[in-house]
Amino acid sequence: MAALSLLLTLLAGGVAALALCSALVVRFKSPQPRPRHDSENYSLCIDEKHERQRLGSLWDEARVDLSVIVPAYNEEERLPVLLNDIREYVAHRRESGSLSYELIIMDDGSKDRTSEVALEFARMHGICELRVVKHVVNRGKGGAVTQGVLSATGRHILFCDADGATRFSDIDALLARMGDGPVIAIGSRNNQALSGTVVERSHLRAFLQWGFHTYVTLLGVRGVRDTQCGFKLFSRQAARMVFPNMHVERFIFDIEILLLARYQHIAVAEVPVNWHEVAGSKMSIVRDSIQMALDLLAVRLNYLLGSWVIKNAVARSAAGLRVHNAAAPASGLARQYSSKSYPDHLLVGMPALSPTMTQGNVGQWQKSVGDKIEPGDVLVEIETDKAQMDFEFQEEGYLAKILAPTGTKDLKIDSPVAIIVENEADVAAFADFSLDQAGTPASPAAASQSAPAESAREAATPVASAQPSTNAAEGDRIFASPLAKTLAREKGIDLAQVSGSGPRGRIVKSDIEGFVATKAAAPSAAASAPAPAPAPARAAEAASAPAAAAKKAAAPAPAASAGFTDIPVTNMRKVIASRLTEAKSTIPHYYLTQNIKMDNVNKLRQSLNTAANGAYKLSVNDFVIKAAASALRDVPEVNSSWQGEFIRQHHHADIAVAAATPAGLITPIVKTCDAKGLRAISSDVRDLVARARANKLKPEEFQGGSFTISNLGMYGITSFSAIINPPHAAILSVGSTEPQLVVDPTAEKGFKSVDVMSVQLSADHRVVDGATGAQFLKAFKGYLENPLTLLL
């Protein structure tokens, strides 16, 4: 007993000590925003000749496409590099279309000429979109970013570090992950092995980042590999939900952003970026690391203990729809969506997985009802207008209901596809949930006021009868459970003739059974009545979109005597048909053919593969890609694209390699082939083609490029004409290698057999003249007939 008493005393003492330490950390170490000076509500810009201009507001309507926030403290040397990078990106974007933007430099109490350098750069290059906000004293990176975002007017808002460590053009990859509703896309320096992006980091920095990530994970911030990358993009709605709640003004503010996103169920996408370490960091490794550790503990405790309260009440995310009660704990989910008292749940919508996607098809579900979902798990395969891709869900929970089964076609973005709950015990409550009950949540007051009336209506609802429902007037929507709809379809019953006994007059299974019994009791009346016509389609109803799409998904039945089968056209096939028809009808094609002796390539390839001893295996196509890249470097006019008002000449050979997949043709892109060796090209091609056939490509891996190669030689095709892949200026079609007899005076018989490959260049005459195309083929032939030059 004495030992047990001692143990309990020690345990109680430990708990008390922990509580005391937590209270002390919250009381004395909690980061607090500093008061703002009046002058910080204004900015300087070259348009106004350094006159003060009042800042905009995050709560106003968006006025530009993109706001770029750059926090800067004593950055007069490094800032011009970033500004030039941004200027080149904007010029590039405006060449292919319009882009409105604003660039806000948050001078965080700098003691050097940071503000002057920024304004001088803007004046030199005529950048009237640049504004400078000067803090009287240094507030910290988080404080500078927060104030910048709160004054942003962009539809999308990016903050990026002033050192330019991340290539600014990588914002395109982040923008591709933006959808409707609140979304945050963050640059990641930890996915380079999968993405092919470049990262250059010192060993010390890599070790510290590993330790910090472990500490962050232990404190409950999971699902994000790189929390501190200074390259984060916010939809305007996500920014409105996050930054008014921010408390931290120092380095740890990135963690608070992710915590606020998690508490409010904002979708967070982690996107690989190109990054390199830049000298001149203002961060003290030892001092700031200790401060960050204390700040992180304080932030976590403040939210756990309720000292900090989230102000936002409603969140609408790209991953789903959820309504929050601001007075409830941060872990609370949504209240019910219908008159039935369902547990709190998340309504998951069809995601936008590519910039041009407006609708998608539902592929194979990777999770079943009842399965636990972790952040980053693949929920379902989605067929977009470009390819079939995985939909990775970024929240924890359990799959309670699948609303759009495998095979559902043409589902619009944000249409409901699934229900997610936080507690496993709540899964069973959604067994009979249908889209009829997935309406937009009303306000709590409206819901409470309507409850008595709703109960009265339910009590007064008559049982099923053969009389038409009063709610089934022509053009009105009929509410019925999935089981009732299935039963009605099987028995040929028009739902408009059935009265519903469920909530709000919803038709349920017992109503259908009662209707059948009534018809059976009056056979004469039933016999004289005309056969019920099918209910009219109501595809315009947003909540019934998946059900309507599921009907549309069914393949037309083959005619019994026609001798043919109608095959539904996939989204990818529609895109292929549209793009190739447009390309063939609008691009002035011409064709050049060349025969190339491949004996030297075959010999060199065999020698290299033998020397590799299984480490790699080069194919003829690898030599073709490398030779094409080298020829594009020699004849850059071919490495171009038609842009309507101008011709864009690309600096690198990004070669799209046509690959056949079960779903159709796709062209994954091998980046910077001109700077890679044969082994790297071979590895990239194998990886990209394998993932293309498994529908695992990311949008940035098959969109863009500067030149295309289509190789059908492995099928025995000797020569063919390919259609140009716009906006590329040319495509090279490659045939098989065949033995041919050629005259050779040195041979005993006066001739010899050589291996010859036929290639054909399809070129856009608006961009590439015939002589230029011939120069390209000459250079290409030279590299393949003298393949040792490819190794130089």
Q: Are strands 659-661 and 664-666 parallel, antiparallel or unpaired?
A: antiparallel
Task: Return d(Cα 647, Cα 728) in angstroms, integer.
Answer: 10
* Burial class of 637 by CB neighbour count within 10 A (0 to 12, 13 to 18, 19+): middle
pTM: 0.43
Measured distance CA(623)–CA(678) in Å, rounded: 7
Per-residue pLDDT at 26? 46
Over range 182-208, report the average pLDDT: 62
| Model pLDDT, residue 385 | 63
What average pLDDT does range 292-311 have in this prediction?
Answer: 69
Rounded to an integer, the average pLDDT of 127-151 is 89
Helix boundaries (H) for 264-337 = 285-304
For the chain, percent of residues with pLDDT exceeding 70:
69
Read off the pLDDT of each residue in 112-136 and give the average, rounded to a whole number.
87
**Contact (Cβ atoms closer than 8 angstroms) between residue 277 and residue 293:** no
Q: Is 344 known to be catalytic? A: no
- pLDDT > 60? residue 88: yes
Residue 200 β-bridge partners: 276
Phi, psi of 522 (to 5 degrees): -130, 70
Across residues 562-575, what is the average pLDDT? 79
- Residue of 255, 257, 266 lying closest to 183 (CA atoms): 266
CA 80 to chain centre: 30
Distance, CA of 568 to CA of 556 (rounded, Å): 7
DSSP E strand boundaries for 248-403: 267-272, 275-276, 314-316, 321-323, 346-349, 359-365, 372-373, 377-383, 388-393, 397-402
**pLDDT at residue 551, as a whole number:** 45
Residue 173 and residue 94 in contact, taking contact as beta carbons nearer than 8 Å: no
β-pair type (101-107, 199-200) = unpaired
Q: Where are the beta strands (DSSP E) in 684-729?
A: 707-711
Chain-centroid distance, C-alpha 461: 47
Indicate if the pLDDT at residue 418 is higher than 70: yes
Judge if the upstream peptide bond of residue 343 is cis by omega within 30 degrees of 0: no
Q: Quick one: which H or E segment has residue 170?
A: none
Confidence of residue 547 (pLDDT cuts 50, 70, 90): very low
Structure tokens at 140: 């910290």
Give the model confidence (pLDDT) of 164-174 as tens digits: 888 898 898 89
Amino acid identity for residue 78 in this structure: R
Mean pLDDT of 613-634: 94
Beta strand 130-134 with 101-107 is parallel
- Does 419 score more than 80 pLDDT? yes
711: phi then psi, degrees, rounded to nearest 5: -115, 115
At 695, is the secondary structure helix, strand, or coil? coil
Place of tokens 């005993």: 748
Percent of the chain with pLDDT over 90: 27
CB atoms within 10 A of CB 611: 8
Assess whether pLDDT exceeds 80 at residue 670: yes
Residue 253 pLDDT greater than 80, yes or no:
yes
* Ordered domains of the chain (ranges, CATH): 38-310 (3.90.550.10), 333-437 (2.40.50.100), 456-522 (4.10.320.10), 572-791 (3.30.559.10)
Q: How confident is the model at residue 224 (pLDDT cuts 50, 70, 90)?
A: confident
Specify the pLDDT at position 554: 45
pLDDT for 164 equals 83
CA angle 307, 312, 313 (to 5 degrees): 110
DSSP label at residue 244: G
Give the span between the Cα atoms of 658 and 75, in whole angstroms.
Answer: 45
Instruction: Compute the residue count for the chain.
Output: 792
Half-sphere exposure at residue 619, Cβ-oriented, CA atoms within 13 angstroms? 13
**Tokens 């929507």 sit on residue:** 477
pLDDT in tens, 681-716: 999 999 999 888 887 887 778 878 899 999 999 899
Each residue's pLDDT tens digit, 37-52:
666 767 777 654 555 6
Give the count of beta carbons closer than 10 Å to the beta carbon of residue 253. 22
Residue 119: enclosing H or E segment and its boundaries?
A: helix 114-125
Among the listed residues 60, 476, 744, 769, the single catalytic one is 769
Cα-based torsion angle of the residue sequence 777, 782, 787, 788 in order, rounded to the nearest 10 degrees = -140
Phi and psi at 135, nearest 5°, equal -85, 140
pLDDT at 562 over 80: no
- Tell me the C-alpha distance between 229 and 246, whole Å: 18
Measure the CA–CA gap between 321 and 427, rounded to whole angstroms: 17
765 is catalytic: yes
Picking from 187, 318, 325, 182, the residue whose alpha carbon sits closest to that of residue 240 is 182
Q: What single DSSP character describes residue 354?
A: S
Question: Which of 406, 360, 752, 389 lies closest to 570 in space, CA to CA?
Answer: 360
CB 351 within 8 A of CB 658: no
CA distance linking residue 758 with residue 665, whole number of Å: 22
Average pLDDT (90-112) is: 87
Neighbours of 183 (CB within 10 A): 26
- Give me the pLDDT at residue 514, please: 77
> Which residue is associated with the tokens 């999935």?
482
- Between the CA of residue 253 and those of 117, 301, 304, what are the distances in Å? 27, 15, 17
Cβ neighbours of residue 617 closer than 8 Å, sequence gap 6 or more: 609, 682
Question: pLDDT by residue (tens digit) across 468-500?
Answer: 443 444 444 566 665 677 778 777 788 777 877
> Alpha carbon of 435 to those of 238, 480, 499: distances in Å?
27, 9, 19
36: pLDDT strictly greater than 80: no
What is the average pLDDT value for the chain, to the nearest integer?
76
| CA pair distance 735, 719, nearest whole angstrom | 5
Evaluated on CA atoms 161, 164, 165, 170, the torsion sign reads: positive
Distance between CA 406 and CA 550 in Å, rounded?
A: 9
Per the model's pLDDT, the better-predicted residue between 88 and 375 turns out to be 88
Over residues 197-206, the mean pLDDT reads 53
353-363 pLDDT, tens digit each:
665 567 888 98
- Concatenated DSSP letters for 431-496? TT--GGG--PPPPHHHHHHHHHHHHHHHHHPPPP-SSPPTT--TTPPPPB-HHHHHHHHHHT--GG
Q: What span, in angstroms and rounded, lies between the C-alpha atoms of 27 and 574?
A: 61
Residue 195 amino acid letter: S
